[in-house]
Amino acid sequence: MNLTEKDKKYVWHPFTSFGTTMPNLPIHSAKGVYLYSDDNRAILDAISSWWVNIHGHSHPYLADAITKQANTLEHVIFAGFTHTPAVTLAERLLKILPQNQSKVFFSDNGSTACEVAIKMALQYFHNLGTPKRKIIALDGAYHGDTFGAMSVGARNAFSAPFSPLLFDVEVIDLPQCEFTNCCLGTCTGIRENAPNCQNIKQIMNKFSEIIATGEVAAFMYEPIVQGAAGIRMYSPEILDKLLEIAQKNDVICIADEVMTGFGRTGKLFASEYLNHKPDIMCLSKGLTGGVMPLGVTTCTEKIVAAYYSDDVFKTFFHGHSFTANPLACSVANASLDLLLKAECMENINRIAQKHIDFEQKIIKIIQNNKNNNIKNVRTLGTILAFEVNNDQKDSYFNTIATDIYGFFLAKNILLRPLGNTIYIMPPYVITDEELDRIYDAIEELISIK
């Protein structure tokens, strides 16, 4: 049996139907933006694998950090013991996160970072002796695949088998301007003649009404860009207003920056686009430069104060075997070294400008040629996305996804659409020429070349 056959026989892959005809492609190595496959192809990773490899693959500086750490301290129980990589990472994160963040709790991935955040917020009220259980979520949210994260996420085919077991949340619509191209995400939605300003007013009213019940513990959101929902961008101004209402009413605001963190949106954290800072933040993905699984949940002094107590029952009884794994923490520290170099921010800005230029070009072509093969071209920081039109509705299950994936892979480009939403989310080391290769392939796909 070759590797593909053994893989099919022994391995169960995530988000992959057993009915799929596509074999999983063996990759033997990776470097920079390229994945090298067993069939001798160099595949351009235009989505940083699962949005994680911000500095590209097999970066020697990150590899060195892990090697050194593996030869020193590979792991130690994190209850009753501590170590330099974790403490250093916590201290450094708190220096670059919004200034109200004061404590770092470690876990293993994005889902657990979110799960911890939800539990931390609920237990905050429990510890204060004023239990509150309602959580407000944004329509379409994705916070991961554990039960709490699923409960606060969108109810869809992913969570359907478990729906009777998920706890109820209050859902409000995404405060999104329908006409992304008219405002590039900067629309306040409440200006005169804004196309769906009525919608936005209704959303804000509904939000206020739910909060007025006095039962709301937390509001959880992916700031400015929802990832898995289809790279949906929405107005920072409205989000800021929602945060203002929430915080005035002692509702804990949880920013899920698992996807948006570490430069992805053009700032170190998407929360920097907002005046109101979150009470709790969830980070993962780019945290380790995509090299090791690690999640962190950070919170303000107000939250942690509810846990300072001689009463043992006010302890946050949550942890994982691999909490604050030293290898993961040391590579996260090394990743921060790279991220905070001027060169990295220059790369992020360069990609952002290239995306804007491409977006403008596509919008003009669509307008001039009346090309309606695509719609909603949008970009923020290093992310560019749009929808491909076909006779099916916009959805993760739009079957055009398979054709799109195959089209790009045949050109040795990894672009894994979310249904009919195509997006680019490259490692920051991608060159202009490599970006042009992706843009060219897109233009070919949508028949404007």
Ligand X SMILES: Cc1ncc(COP(=O)(O)O)c(C=O)c1O
In the complex, which residues of this chain contact ligand X (CB under 6 A)? 109-111, 114, 142-144, 222, 227-228, 256, 258-259, 284
Structure tokens at 424: 């680019």
Distance CA 86, CA 107 (A): 11
- Least distance (Å) from ligand X to the CB of residue 281? 12
Nearer to ligand X, 222 or 279 (CB): 222
Nearer to ligand X, 143 or 354 (CB): 143
- Least distance (Å) from ligand X to the CB of residue 61? 23
Nearer to ligand X, 362 or 418 (CB): 418
- Least distance (Å) from ligand X to the CB of residue 108? 8
CB 121 within 8 Å of CB 301 = no
User: Burial letters for 303-340: b for 16+ Cβ neighbours within 10 Å, e otherwise?
Assistant: bbebbeeeeeeeeeeeeeebbbbbbbbbbbbbbbebbe
Nearer to ligand X, 288 or 376 (CB): 288
User: Burial letters for 248-267: b for 16+ Cβ neighbours within 10 Å, e otherwise?
Assistant: eebbbbbbbbbbbbbbbbbb
- Least distance (Å) from ligand X to the CB of residue 320? 13
- Least distance (Å) from ligand X to the CB of residue 211? 23
Question: What is the residue type of 146?
Answer: T
- The strand ranges marked E within 236-382 are 252-256, 280-283, 295-300, 374-380
Comparing every residue's Cβ against ligand X, the nearest one is 110
Longest dimension (CA), the chain: 70
- Least distance (Å) from ligand X to the CB of residue 194? 27
Nearer to ligand X, 65 or 258 (CB): 258
Which residue, among 13, 29, 52, 42, has the nearest Cα to 427 in the 3D structure? 52
Distance CA 326, CA 11 (A): 28
